[in-house]
Structure 1
Amino acid sequence: MASEFTDYDQQDPLNDSMSTTDDESVKSAKRFWYAVQVASGCEKKVKSTIEQRLHTLDVADRIFRIEIPQTPIIKIKKDGSRQTIEEKVFPGYVLIQVRAQQSPDTGEWQIDDEAWQVIKNTPNVINFVGAEQRRSTGRGRGHVKPMPLSAAEVDRIFRKVQEQEPVHRIDLNSGDKIKVLSGPFKDFEGEVIEVSPERSKLKALLSIFGRETPVELEVNQVEKEG
């Protein structure tokens, strides 16, 4: 499938206009992807809020991309019509590409502090994946700065989205009891034994002349019972 996730390099050096600055910390900066856990059903709201804050808080040079990996689902309705929707690959999570600097002491890449503050203080954000909570000095709890996703993890996630073929989905499964609504077997009842979503067809065992006989039917010819 065609995908918007065509440029997901884990460690892109920042653009030339930034790398020519006299600020040594910016010269050594790179872009890394981080996974952020958010409240259920709030993925798009979090993305929209952070995108607005890029400009209002002037952090567009620190937070680069916010993505919600999705895959196409083709839902086949009872009337046989098809509806294509996007389903989240990781419900409850948002991927964010953020600037990071290399620590002169440990050599580890650490998320930009200002970007970190903006993201973790966004409504409906729960925490960064890999950022364990710890007791801070005094009252309350603090947050350990998160580790970025590895290059292998990023590659696996985005390739899965790029290569995923549309999934056909019908609200019928093997073992379901059905009643035939039209055609030569109208009013017959039976049990689904096979579903072919991509063809909008199913096979069911119908009792014909006292014997259970497999019959192929269109999805829009039946209704699920019970």
Structure 2
Amino acid sequence: MPEQSQKKWYVLHTYSGYENRVKENLQSRAQSMGMEDYIFQAVVPEEEETETKNGHTKTEMKKTFPGYVLVEMVMSDQSWFVVRNTPGVTGFVGSHGAGSKPAPLLPEEVEHILHGMQEQADQNDLDLELGEVIKITDGAFAGLEGKITEIDSEHGKVKVEVDMFGRLTETELDYTNLEKASY
């Protein structure tokens, strides 16, 4: 069994639009070929994106790096071969071809990508209640506090009443633009 300290993150180039299929294929191949001790996980970095068109707000997950998949693995000839020959994988980023091994991502690069994904997941898991006072962290009302009047957890939105110039103004916000008020 390989040393855990040899475990590093690498970037795979894939056909655009096939990132999730490559992730599934890679996990399946690692299991069926007995490579679980060498190939640990595959991640398709995504972030939530909200778009408003014709008065309709739509939230969907967009790939942060279209055409790329991150894989955590111990680099060996056998694990390289399994990953490189996974359907949909066109190659490793940082490899110079002709069978050369790729360069791994730096730990701070991995931390930045994975931390960003976790931060967004944590934001979407906020436990909010009607009437609760929250603090707005981004946008035109950043720094203000407001009271929640409506919650749309399916779309990650809340309606909040904010006191603007002595008048209550209602605004719709993403979960990602607010945090619990601390008292």
Identity in percent: 35
Deviation at 1:112, TM superposition (A): 1.9
Of 24, 29, 33, 1:53 maps to 29
**What residue number does 1:138 align with?**
none
State the one-letter code of the partner of 2:47.
T
State the one-letter code of the partner of 2:48.
P
Q: How does 1:43-192 map to 2 (within 5 A)?
A: 43-78=19-54, 80-99=55-74, 111-133=75-97, 142-163=98-119
Measured in 2, the distance between the counterparts of 1:97 and 1:27 equals 13
Deviation at 1:82, TM superposition (A): 3.2
Q: Secondary structure at the match of 2:112?
A: helix
Please tell me the root mean square deviation across aligned C-alpha atoms, in Å.
2.3
Of 8, 17, 23, 1:41 maps to 17
Query: TM-score under structure 1 normalisation?
Result: 0.50
Measured in 2, the distance between the counterparts of 1:70 and 1:28 equals 26
**What residue number does 1:220 align with?**
none
Runs of 4+ residues deviating >4 angstroms:
none
From the superposition, tell whether residues 51 and 27 of structure 1 become closer, same or farther in structure 2 (CA, over 3 Å).
closer
Q: Deviations over 1:54-95 (max 9, x none)?
A: 2211111110010001000123343x4433210000111000
Deviation at 1:27, TM superposition (A): 4.3
Structure 2 unaligned regions, length at least 5: 125-157, 160-183
Query: TM-score under structure 2 normalisation?
Result: 0.60
- Provide the aligned length of Structure 1 versus Structure 2: 124
**What residue number does 2:181 align with?**
none
State the one-letter code of the partner of 2:86.
T
Contact 2:10 2:92 in 1 (8 A): yes
Greater Cα radius of gyration, structure 1 or 2: 1
Measured in 2, the distance between the counterparts of 1:36 and 1:86 equals 20
Deviation at 1:162, TM superposition (A): 3.3
Measured in 1, the distance between the counterparts of 2:111 and 2:10 equals 13
**What residue number does 2:128 align with?**
none
State the one-letter code of the partner of 2:115.
R
State the one-letter code of the partner of 1:32.
K
